[in-house]
Structure 1
Amino acid sequence: MADDKISENIEEYLEVLYRNGSNKEQVSTTTLSNDLGIAPGSVTQMLKKLEALGYINYTPYRGASLTDEGMKIAQKITRKHRILEKFLLDILKVKEENIHDQACEMEHTLSDEAERALCTMLHHPDLCPDNNIIPACDLDFDSCQQCFSEKDFDNVINRKFNLLSISELNPETQGTISFIRGNDDLLDSIADYGIAVGDNLHYYNTDGNEYSVSIEDQDFSLPQEMANNIFIRV
């Protein structure tokens, strides 16, 4: 379950910051006000509180960006929301126009164990119904195969750093591949490229649905599905 020391209100703010600035870009107060439907003055007061808690960096009259700790919380709640949307639409057949509001109500109480079970049942999805990336889990595995092999959730530990998929990165980003998501077929396809956890990656740009990267000094043009599911440490 989401940390009970963190209010739903704080989670909502961090979720909106992540949705508008997943690479820790600065998000304007106006954007936050519009997305949350809250007056700018109230948003400013909350941003000051979030900065004091260490979740954001706040610049008056300009906006805010997530810190590492803020991003960790934001990714977690965003992941639960988007997995729930997928579950509500694909499994429960809830009307698409209703799934966002219902996921908002459920995301704050969904346990980490239940989230993991949903992910497995849905075959490790990479996109929610709105085609937004579902963030990687924060469980300390290299791949979904490793996760599936550990049956006892009490033995699972949390990753200590954040991840972004290739398709979420800003151009000219470099990092180390730290997690690869997907079913056996996708994992095998990525392995056939010679790509593995621990490889150094340099992302250049995207052209349509192809992502230009250099991995261990070898150039690749990766399809969207692979870019969505190869994650680097950030």
Structure 2
Amino acid sequence: MPKNTTISGNVEEYLELLYKLGPNGERVSTSMISENLKIAPASATQMLKKLAVKGYVEYSPYKGVVLTEEGLKIAKKITRKHRLLERFLCDILKIKSDKIHDQACEMEHVLSDDAERALCHLLEQPNKCPGDSVIPECDLKFTTCEECKERKEVDVEEVGKRNENLISILDLNEDKKGRVSFIRGDHKVIRRLLDMGITIGAIISVIKVAPLGGPVEVAVRGSKLALGRDIASNVFIEACDEMGC
């Protein structure tokens, strides 16, 4: 992914909004974008066409727009920085809640990847922002937060970035499966999951998602488990395609 210095703040704002409005790959209408940004539909359409040329979105007139894999990477990255900053402003600096969002918007575009990583360590790997929205997973080539902390002296450039976009178990559709690639949380979380057979590389499938915030029933290593949503949202997988994992 290009560094933030090569992507304008305006482009990041559009991609961030598209991720917010269609987090699971839903198409977003031009009218929704113009209403959220308080701009004319024609202006939104013009920008979407530019984003399509850059390869960040797939745009079809009258059908809306959806993020490409590359656009999704950038959108998740800037959303992650924004929500980490909100957590920092709220928990560490004790900024008033009505000022946090706007302040984070100003800071997210200039926060380096190394600073983002250090901020995550400082906050002890939070999974939600003050508004209770999930913080996207990091894009570094680590399998756990513990591994990241153990190598905190290594710069982001040396660590490298994942090529694929991951999704949490919570976002995996019923009757679909994927390979566990990243676990967010401390050693207690990792140990708890290990005891259940959920380890890096394990193939996991969703059987049923209970309504009204109930648990997620999954199958892993021949066993069926009921996971609370908090823990399911912190296990990230690479979804299997039609050819399998």
The reply to whether residue 196 of structure 1 matches residue 196 of structure 2 is no
Query: Quick check: 2:12–2:78 contact (8 Å CA) kept in 1?
Result: yes
1:139 aligns to what?
140
1:175 aligns to what?
178
Amino acid at match of 2:27: Q
Q: Deviations over 1:186-226 (max 9, x none)?
A: 12211121101111122244222311222234222101221
Q: What is the 5 A alignment of 1:146-185?
A: 146-154=147-155, 155-185=158-188
Q: What is the 5 A alignment of 1:33-52?
A: 33-52=34-53
CA distance in 2, matches of 1:88, 1:31: 29
TM-score normalized by the length of structure 2: 0.91
Report SS of the residue matched to 2:167: strand
1:66 aligns to what?
67
Q: What is the 5 A alignment of 1:52-131?
A: 52-131=53-132
Query: Quick check: 2:4–2:110 contact (8 Å CA) kept in 1?
Result: no
Query: Quick check: 1:23–1:169 contact (8 Å CA) kept in 2?
Result: no
TM-score normalized by the length of structure 1: 0.95
* Structure 1: 5+ residue stretches without partners: none
| CA deviation after TM superposition for structure 1 residue 161, in Å | 1.1
| CA deviation after TM superposition for structure 1 residue 22, in Å | 1.9
Query: Quick check: 2:170–2:232 contact (8 Å CA) kept in 1?
Result: yes
The reply to whether residue 212 of structure 1 matches residue 213 of structure 2 is no
CA distance in 1, matches of 2:38, 2:170: 29
| CA deviation after TM superposition for structure 1 residue 2, in Å | 4.3
CA distance in 1, matches of 2:217, 2:159: 34
Structure 1 vs Structure 2 CA RMSD: 1.5
* Structure 2: 5+ residue stretches without partners: 240-245
CA distance in 2, matches of 1:98, 1:2: 27
Amino acid at match of 1:162: N
Query: Quick check: 2:197–2:220 contact (8 Å CA) kept in 1?
Result: no
2:227 aligns to what?
222
1:232 aligns to what?
237
Query: Quick check: 1:2–1:110 contact (8 Å CA) kept in 2?
Result: no
Amino acid at match of 2:20: R
Greater shift in the superposed pair: 170-179 or 30-39: 170-179
Query: Quick check: 2:209–2:217 contact (8 Å CA) kept in 1?
Result: yes
Q: Deviations over 1:40-93 (max 9, x none)?
A: 111111111111111111111121111100000001000000000011001110
Paired residues, number: 234
CA distance in 2, matches of 1:204, 1:40: 41
Identity of aligned residues (%): 50
1:28 aligns to what?
29
CA distance in 1, matches of 2:25, 2:42: 23
Amino acid at match of 1:184: H
Report SS of the residue matched to 2:137: coil
